[in-house]
Chains A and B, each alone.
Chain A
Amino acid sequence: RKEVEQDPGPFNVPEGATVAFNCTYSNSASQSFFWYRQDCRKEPKLLMSVYSSGNEDGRFTAQLNRASQYISLLIRDSKLSDSATYLCVVTLNDFNKFYFGSGTKLNVKP
Chain B
Amino acid sequence: NAGVTQTPKFRVLKTGQSMTLLCAQDMNHEYMYWYRQDPGMGLRLIHYSVGEGTTAKGEVPDGYNVSRLKKQNFLLGLESAAPSQTSVYFCASRHTGNNEQFFGPGTRLTVL
List chain A positions with a Cβ less than 8 A from chain B.
4, 8, 32, 34, 42-46, 49, 87, 91, 95-103
Contact = CB atoms under 8 A, between A and B. Distances in A.
Given A34-B99, A44-B103, A49-B100, 13 more contacts: A4-B42, A43-B103, A44-B43, A44-B101, A46-B101, A49-B99, A95-B99, A96-B31, A97-B48, A98-B33, A99-B45, A102-B41, A102-B42
Main secondary structure of the interface of B (DSSP, over half): strand
A15 to B, nearest CB: 28
Interface of B: 31, 33, 35, 40-45, 48, 50, 56, 58-59, 90, 99-101, 103-106
B5 to A, nearest CB: 11
A43 B40 contact: no
A87 B43 CA distance: 9
A94 to B, nearest CB: 9
A32 B94 CA distance: 15
Contacts of A103: 42
B45 to A, nearest CB: 6
A43 B99 contact: no
A8 B103 contact: no
A87 B42 contact: yes
A96 B43 contact: no
Contact of A96 (B41, B50, B90, B106): B50
Contact of A100 (B31, B43, B100, B106): B43
A87 B59 CA distance: 18
B30 to A, nearest CB: 11
Nearest to A3: B59
Contacts of A42: 105-106
Most buried by B among A8, A43, A46: A43
Nearest to A102: B42
B103 A97 contact: no
Contacts of B48: 96-97
A102 B90 CA distance: 15
